[in-house]
Amino acid sequence: MIIPHTELSPEALNGVMESYALMSGTDYGEREFSLEDKVEHIKRQIDKKEVFVDYSIESNTVSLITAKQAKGYSATN
C-alpha cells in the first residue's frame, strides 16, 4: 500500500532512504556518491513523485518503490 512519505517520522524516512540507497544493484553511474548524496537524490525523487513509500501490511515493513513499480498498485497492495 502506497502511503504519503509524511506519514513517517523524519528519522524513519531517512532510515528507509538510507536502506534503499545501500541496496545492491542501486546504480548511480560511474561517479561515486556519498550516502548523504544518495539520500538527497532519493528525497528529490520522492518530492517529484518518482519514488513512493510502500507499506506492506502482511510483513509490517516499509520500502521504497519507483513510479513505474507503483503503476498497477491497488489500495490493497
Residue-averaged pLDDT of the chain: 87
Confidence of residue 76 (pLDDT cuts 50, 70, 90): very low
In a domain, 77, yes or no: no
Q: Is the pLDDT of residue 24 over 60?
A: no
- Residue 44 in domain: yes
Q: List the domain range (segments joined by +) for residue 20.
A: 2-70
β-bridge mates for residue 56, sequence order? 61
Q: Hey, which bits of 1-77 come out as E strands?
A: 2-3, 51-56, 61-66
Q: Does residue 65 belong to any structural domain of this protein?
A: yes
Instruction: Report d(CA 39, CA 76) in Å as an integer.
Output: 28
Number of domains in the chain: 1
14 within some domain: yes
Please check whether residue 76 lies inside any domain of the structure. Answer: no
Task: Indicate which CATH number applies to the domain containing 6.
Answer: 1.10.10.610
The string of pLDDT tens digits covering residues 29-54 is: 667 888 999 999 999 999 999 999 99
User: Does residue 75 form part of some domain?
Assistant: no
What does the DSSP 8-state code read for residue 21?
H
